[in-house]
Amino acid sequence: MEPSQTIEDESQPSIASVTRRIQRLSLHLIPLPFLQRSPQLDMLTCAKANKQEVDVASLSSYMRGRHREIQEKIFDFFNSRPDLQTPTEISMKEHRELCLRQLFGLVREAKIKPFRYVVEDPAKYFAISEAVGSIDISLGIKFGVQYSLWGGSVLNLGTKKHRDKYFDGIDNLDYLGCFAMTELHHGSNVQGLQTVATFDPIMDEFIIDTPNDGAIKWWIGNAAVHGKFATVFARLVLPTHDSKGVSDMGVHAFIVPIRDLKTHQPLPGIEINDCGHKIGLNGVDNGALRFRSVRIPRDNLLNRFGDVTRDGKYTSSLPTINKRFAATLGELVGGRVGLAHSSVGILKIAVTIAVRYSLLRQQFGPPKQPEVSILDYQSQQHKLMPMLASTYAFYFATQYLVEKYSEMKKTHDEQLVGDVHALSAGLKSYVTSFTAKSLSTCREACGGHGYAAVNRFGTLRNDHDIFQTFEGDNTVLLQQVAADLLKQYKDKFQGGALSVTWNYLRESMSTYLSQPNPVTARWESEDHLRDPKFQLDAFRYRTSRLLQSVAARLQKHTKTLGSFGAWNRCLNHLLTLAESHIESVILAKFIEAVQNCPDASSQAALKLLCDLYALDRIWKDIGTYRNVDYVAPNKAKAINKLTQYLSFQVRNIAGEVIDAFDLPPYILRAPIAMQSEAYSQYTQLVGF
């Protein structure tokens, strides 16, 4: 349409406006023509030309993992028990009691006993955790507090005497417990905790005290109503005979009974209050704990990394407070691994609901023709198809993380411990932040129907939101990743070995940081852009440039601002570096998964998703690549066109790709994600 025509139409009767709107909307239905020399890619309509065949059963089998059987057992149990299913409308008090009954039903009726897998088979434990969180995220968190946090602290920080005494009670839920680390004034800065555990050598006991309001344990799951024990993190203080009178040995963990096992009343010296109604996760009873001279036996110190003898002497195989603290937190990374893994499970549910709705929902269309699926609109594809590709990417990345974590638990290899610590911090931060944004996007993509509580987006979004904060604030965790990268960078120049996930930095300091090749910077063929080597090189080049440049900036600013001031001056740069590195790891694992897939049709589908993930990320940061001439203007344009084309191709197989997640109807539950006949159920909700 010529500009002059547009101006004329503005003054015409309303039918002209309607015609113009239809013409504009129809533009969404016509994919941009790709490169001129690839006519087979020029499609004029949304007809399913060149649609790729996908063997859903084979792809699902590849995605299911080794522990699908126990997940199906969990789904079947809750599907058979309507009395244990969480209704759309429920009060906080009712939700808490339902959540407890769900947990008891899982363990005592369905006979799912996950505790031994925390150490023996973490992959199986995380598979159970994902399934439980799919039932109700509140249940997933309560489950995690009991087994991963409270139970995990006993297994990982304690010794044989603690396991012998508490294992069965934790396993069968007789000993419901809490993980009391966070305080009102200290969350991320665990070394700044103020709760005190002072040893009394006369009584052979520790005295747990909350010295001020800022030291009240806060947001403690299971504390408000159900918990009977707590692992309390406190500063271990020993009496000395010097002028100071005491010696602070740093933060340690202690088992503290908080309620009477028979009456369930708070024990003497323990004050418990309710943190009240929250934005989400109201099935979890978060509470606040204050300790007033609470005495516990010396044996209640979880003493794997440090112990106190009967005569009050401190012993440890680790020489410094910092090393003991690092070892303690290193054993607790399972919580981050679990959150990253569970976040992908929540993203699967949201993407499946949004994509299925978008396939079923029809709006507008060419003149005098039937309405078309809203997923045929380029704008809807742009919202959802890269997200679908990212869901697959995150799945493979978190599976890799679980494998490395399981290996770490078996070998206790020091280098692997450091690698898993940084990788879990990065993936937990990146994946949960992405999922949080995607939940809002999915809601918007489903229009007004997405706003109905029964269609789940509100609950999923509110319950998941805190994933960005607990087990480590995402911004703080990304800084840990950046700090580790800088350490690797420094070690590289000192001849040190690089940890497994960071190996590519060995090349990056030379190959990736050389001047971009002016020839390859202009290559724009489809084969080149879909080459995994080009994609991974581009990701790693960006990370390497960011690492080199931020190292130089830190060195410069440290001279005038000191190390803390320099870090703060470069903080946004450091966060971008960490995210870039994690994206490189995610892509590398996705490429490996594609290459290792045994079924040809599944491999082709995964290759399409992987290419979309890679090129979409490159396009979203195209300014970085253009700024250093890594990508020439013509190549940038080709990347944009190919990304749009790949979104269209993924749209053609979107139904099969989400079906491969194999999520049962009870887990989805949203009427808008069911076939059209489910709308009869939907209308009944409002009285028709």
Mind giving me the DSSP string for 437-476? HHHHHHHHHTGGGGGSGGGSHHHHHHHHGGGGTTTS-HHH
Q: Into which CATH architecture does domain 333-495+527-671 fall? A: Up-down Bundle (1.20)
pLDDT of 489 reads 81
pLDDT at 679: 53
The mean of the pLDDT values for the chain is 87
Task: Read off the pLDDT of each residue in 479-490 and give the average, rounded to a whole number.
Answer: 90
Q: What is the mean pLDDT of residues 498-516?
A: 57
Give the range among 182-191, 231-240, 268-277 with minimum mean pLDDT.
182-191
pLDDT confidence of residue 8: 37
Helix H or strand E encompassing 494:
none
Q: What is the pLDDT of residues 537-594, one digit of tens each?
A: 999 999 999 998 999 999 999 999 999 999 999 999 999 999 999 999 999 999 999 9
Torsion-angle region of 471 (φ positive above 0: left; ψ -120 to 50: alpha; else: beta):
left
In this predicted model, what pLDDT tens digit does every residue of 110-121 receive, in sequence order?
999 999 999 899
For residue 205 the two structure tokens come to 């006991």
579: left (phi over 0), alpha (psi -120 to 50) or beta: alpha
b/e per residue, 276-307, with b = 16+ CB within 10 A? eeeebbbbbbbbbbbbeebebebbbbbbbbbb
Looking at per-residue confidence, does 95 or 496 come out higher? 95
Of these residues, 471, 524, 579, 583, which one is catalytic?
A: 471
Residue 365 has what pLDDT?
83
Asked whether the predicted pLDDT for residue 44 surpasses 80, the reply is no
Model-level pTM?
0.87
How far, in Å, CA of 220 to CA of 180, rounded?
6
Query: Which tokens belong to 647?
Result: 């979104």
pLDDT interval class at 188 (50, 70, 90): confident
Helix (H) or strand (E) holding 78: helix 68-79
Strands 287-291 and 229-239: unpaired
Q: What is the pLDDT of residues 213-233, one digit of tens each?
A: 999 999 999 999 999 999 999
Per DSSP, helices labelled H in 260-333 are 321-330
Q: Give the three-state DSSP class for 183.
A: strand
Which residue ranges are tagged as binding site for FAD? 182, 221
Closest CA to 404 of 492, 506, 333, 481: 333
Give the count of beta carbons closer than 10 Å to the beta carbon of residue 428.
29
pLDDT band at 687 (very low <50, low <70, confident <90, very high): low
Express each pLDDT in 608-665 by its tens digit.
999 999 999 999 999 999 988 889 999 999 999 999 999 999 999 999 999 999 998 8
pLDDT tens by residue, 656-677? 999 999 998 888 888 888 754 4
Q: Is the pLDDT of residue 682 over 60?
A: no
Could you name the CATH architecture of 179-320? Answer: Beta Barrel (2.40)
Residue percentage of the chain with pLDDT more than 90: 70
The mean pLDDT of 528-540, rounded to a whole number, is 94
* pLDDT at residue number 522: 80
CA quadruple 577, 580, 586, 587: dihedral sign: negative
CB-based contact 82:122 (threshold 8 Å): no
In percent, the amount of the chain with pLDDT more than 70 equals: 86
Residue with tokens 């740069």: 573
Q: Look at residue 519 and tell me whether its pLDDT is greater than 90.
A: no
CB 512 within 8 A of CB 537: yes
Q: How confident is the model at residue 32 (pLDDT cuts 50, 70, 90)?
A: very low
Confidence band, pLDDT 50/70/90 cuts, at residue 327: confident
471 is annotated as an active-site residue: yes
Instruction: Tell me the three state secondary structure of residue 276.
Output: coil
For the ranges 62-66, 249-253, 519-523, the lowest mean pLDDT is seen at: 519-523
State the average pLDDT over residues 184-213: 93
Strand, coil or helix: 299? helix
| Residue positions forming the annotated binding site | 182, 221
Tell me: the pLDDT tens digits for 403-450? 999 999 888 888 888 899 999 999 999 999 999 999 999 999 999 998
DSSP 111-152: ----TTHHHH-HHHHHHHHHHHHHH-HHHHHHHHIIIIIIHH
